[in-house]
Amino acid sequence: MKNNKITKALWNTGKICFTLFCIYAVIISSLMVFASVAPIKENSTAIVLGAQVKYGRPSVLLQQRINAAFDYLNENKNAKAVVTGGQGSDEALSEGQCMYDTLVDMGIDKDSIYIEDKAENTQENIKYSYDIIEKEKLNKNLAIVTDSYHQLRARLIANKQNINSDIGAINTENTFIGYITYPTYFVREWIAIPVELLK
């Protein structure tokens, strides 16, 4: 009888925890989707977040961000962009430099692109990029170029740094590989977002 009571209590506790988790997942997913459709003010300065460089070339993830930045700059001739990301120990050049070189090769005016090549994480990506925006007197309305699932956390990081600019979202378009990995990265944000809030 005692064992039955313990089992029932554990079962009920498990159901409550599962229900709370489902509620959290729905709420956080909704907020992530909302952040990913944030409108962009005219000629906002794009901050293109870095991703891995492989063998001196953009990884699939980084190329997706480059493509999104290219589309934005090509459609908004008066807009500027800051490409941000340092050089990892396994990278032939910095992520910022790689993005700059690729965008110029794709036909974007080099005077429209500013390089930030010291950042090692998203916090530094945004902080150092905003420092450049202020120094160069660029438009302080921002458009963050990253994957849609990453937009909410990027916005939270910017807000924590007291960046009060209007922040819009420029999302990448997934390749076949991107579609396969998307659910994993999306769910990972369920953990990463509260961790960011607790920092």
pLDDT in tens, 50-104: 988 988 899 888 999 999 999 999 999 999 999 999 998 788 899 999 999 999 9
- CA separation (Å) from 121 to 3, 27, 40, 101, 118? 50, 26, 24, 21, 9
Superfamily of domain 33-198: HUPs (3.40.50.620)
Distance CA 25, CA 154 (A): 19
Q: What is the pLDDT of residue 14?
A: 83
- pLDDT per position as a tens digit, 1-46: 556 777 777 788 888 999 999 999 999 999 999 999 999 999 999 9
Give the global pTM. 0.88
